[in-house]
Chain A
């Protein structure tokens, strides 16, 4: 089970990220998770939204360069060693993690969610399923 992450090109200048969040806010798009990767002159804002299709359409309409990427929303117990267990499984199956970021839920304090971008997404989905590790689904991209 994978999620559609929206990756947006953002200039590395004051106010540029805010222009993006402004458009999302005005159109009532809620971000479940956000991570910002930066190079010297630009950044990539990676967003998990509750409706990726609506978010993507909106960004196209507003002229934001973006792309949709498949990522895994892995649910882990919010306890010491929770992440380690997942990484151990990926490692044993030789799956390379390219980047990851976390988000927590206030409603569900027992669990956290890690967004993973891996080299071979399909292999990762199968490996996690085989080990009974739950992932978020596109229909409910939240804890």
Chain B
């Protein structure tokens, strides 16, 4: 039986959703124009005023926002409400050393948690469930978002956060957790570990998983479903737009329904910026209709994607997006953390290292491995082992603010390094 958190809107006729989007867009553009000078200036430069936006049909007239805008407006430049009305930030890595910081009013958090609650119920969750949230809590949106959604559904929420696999498994077994929320790679790792412990799927109480924040294949879905004995659902989101729950999978497990009462999705040609028709492959662009504190209009996600309004067997009428098929920039997602090569270079140069490096990314037993090998230079090298280790420690510390956990950095001798070939400019 399909379950909905807010069926009146999730299953509303498309015309009703579109009318709501028109109404909310007009209001949101006015809000941004009045409260976000950074975007108002962009609109003025394009010769657009709120009067020009009479509904979603005029959306294409508005200027885009990119991660570069976020960097330039950092930290408070895109805040849409006075600071005293904002209650929270969440943060993700930026394209350089600076991070992206997004703001929330209590109302924003409330709507974000609604979106996550829809995802949990679409995965079959009810107030009878024990929902273990093994996404990181803190600046990362995964933990706080699903935690709030789980509360709204009324699940018994187990906020384990990420890591400490033994404790995760202990709680799954002892508390009889039925829903698991984490990155797909961590779910796969948990599954492998439980298998090694001799647990068969019927001995694992989990029945569903909500896995997002990184790319995963259908093959990986099958593996996770088989080892854990669950149904695995995808969830999508960006810190810039709230976090997980911008879109989510239903029982059909074929694409993610976008919460269209809160977000308008467009597909554009990443080179020309031209809006493409439904079904075309291009860059996904989102307009946040209800966000107060961080109201981004036409935000370019850089995710390459396809939209489809084909009727879904679950009964929801929200448009569906396919799993992102790639990026229109060089962003890498490593264990759920966004990493830009340009950011690695900025950190290196900022910390006084040569910008010759090699990024080695692999997937070992469904878990991403991330290594940044830095070229050893005659200037850095000394006969003193302690000093070299100190230099390495500094590099690891410099990485910390950007990615949380540092890469397993090591040194490359210059001659055998293809550094010049992987060198990227910011």
Q: Do A and B bind?
A: yes
B411 is an interface residue with CB less than 8 A from chain A: yes
Closest 10 pairs (CB-CB, A-B): A63-B415, A41-B410, A7-B383, A69-B383, A65-B381, A42-B411, A65-B376, A9-B381, A9-B376, A37-B385
Does the CB pair B378–A67 fall under 8 Å?
yes
- Contact residue among A39, A69, A98 (Cβ-Cβ distance under 8 Å from B388): A39
Query: A42 to B411, alpha carbons, bound, how many Å?
Result: 7
Main secondary structure of the interface of B (DSSP, over half): loop
Q: Which residues of the partner chain B approach A66 to less than 8 Å between Cβ atoms?
A: 378, 381
Does the CB pair A65–B377 fall under 8 Å?
yes
Closest residue of B by beta carbon distance from A63: B415
Closest residue of B by beta carbon distance from A8: B381
Query: A41 to B384, alpha carbons, bound, how many Å?
Result: 15
Give 5 A-B contacts (CB < 8 Å), ordered by A residue.
Answer: A37-B385, A42-B388, A44-B385, A63-B415, A65-B377
Q: Which residues of the partner chain B approach A41 to less than 8 Å between Cβ atoms?
A: 410-411
B277 is an interface residue with CB less than 8 A from chain A: no
Q: Which residues of the partner chain B approach A65 to less than 8 Å between Cβ atoms?
A: 376-378, 381, 413-414
Query: A64 to B377, alpha carbons, bound, how many Å?
Result: 10
Query: A63 to B377, alpha carbons, bound, how many Å?
Result: 10
Expressed in whole angstroms, the minimum distance between the Cβ of B169 and any Cβ of chain A is 29
B389 is an interface residue with CB less than 8 A from chain A: yes
Expressed in whole angstroms, the minimum distance between the Cβ of A124 and any Cβ of chain B is 16
Query: A79 to B384, alpha carbons, bound, how many Å?
Result: 31
Does the CB pair A67–B383 fall under 8 Å?
yes
Instruction: Give residues of chain B (320-377) contacting chain A, Cβ–Cβ below 8 Å.
Output: 376-377
Does the CB pair A11–B383 fall under 8 Å?
no
Instruction: Give residues of chain A (30-45) contacting chain B, Cβ–Cβ below 8 Å.
Output: 37, 39, 41-42, 44
B271 is an interface residue with CB less than 8 A from chain A: no
B residues touching A (Cβ–Cβ < 8 Å)? 376-378, 381-385, 388-389, 410-415
Closest residue of A by beta carbon distance from B378: A65
Q: Which residues of the partner chain B approach A5 to less than 8 Å between Cβ atoms?
A: 383
Query: A67 to B378, alpha carbons, bound, how many Å?
Result: 8
Expressed in whole angstroms, the minimum distance between the Cβ of B378 and any Cβ of chain A is 6
Tally of contact residues, A, Cβ under 8 A = 19
Does the CB pair A67–B381 fall under 8 Å?
yes
Does the CB pair B415–A9 fall under 8 Å?
no
Query: Knowing A9-B376, A39-B388 touch, does A67 contact B382 (C-beta < 8 A)?
Result: yes
- Contact residue among A39, A42, A46, A62 (Cβ-Cβ distance under 8 Å from B383): A46
Q: Which residues of the partner chain A approach B377 to less than 8 Å between Cβ atoms?
A: 65
Q: Which residues of the partner chain A approach B376 to less than 8 Å between Cβ atoms?
A: 9, 42, 65
Q: Which residues of the partner chain A approach B411 to less than 8 Å between Cβ atoms?
A: 9, 11, 41-42
Does the CB pair A39–B385 fall under 8 Å?
yes
Query: A25 to B413, alpha carbons, bound, how many Å?
Result: 21
Closest residue of A by beta carbon distance from B415: A63
Does the CB pair B381–A39 fall under 8 Å?
no
Does the CB pair B410–A44 fall under 8 Å?
no
Query: A49 to B353, alpha carbons, bound, how many Å?
Result: 31
Query: A44 to B376, alpha carbons, bound, how many Å?
Result: 12
Expressed in whole angstroms, the minimum distance between the Cβ of A8 and any Cβ of chain B is 9
Given A42-B410, A64-B413, A65-B413, 15 additional A-B pairs, CB 8 A: A5-B383, A9-B381, A9-B411, A11-B413, A37-B385, A41-B411, A42-B376, A42-B388, A46-B383, A62-B415, A65-B377, A65-B378, A65-B414, A66-B378, A117-B383
Interface centre among B378, B385, B415 (most CB of A within 10 A): B385
Closest residue of B by beta carbon distance from A41: B410
Chain A 59-97 interface mask (CB, 8 Å, partner B; 1/0)? 000111111010000000000000000000000000000
Q: Which residues of the partner chain B approach A67 to less than 8 Å between Cβ atoms?
A: 378, 381-383
Q: Which residues of the partner chain B approach A64 to less than 8 Å between Cβ atoms?
A: 413, 415
Query: A62 to B376, alpha carbons, bound, how many Å?
Result: 15
Q: Which residues of the partner chain A approach B412 to less than 8 Å between Cβ atoms?
A: 11
Q: Which residues of the partner chain A approach B382 to less than 8 Å between Cβ atoms?
A: 7, 67
Query: Knowing A9-B376, A44-B383, A67-B381 touch, does A39 contact B389 (C-beta < 8 A)?
Result: yes
Closest residue of B by beta carbon distance from A70: B383
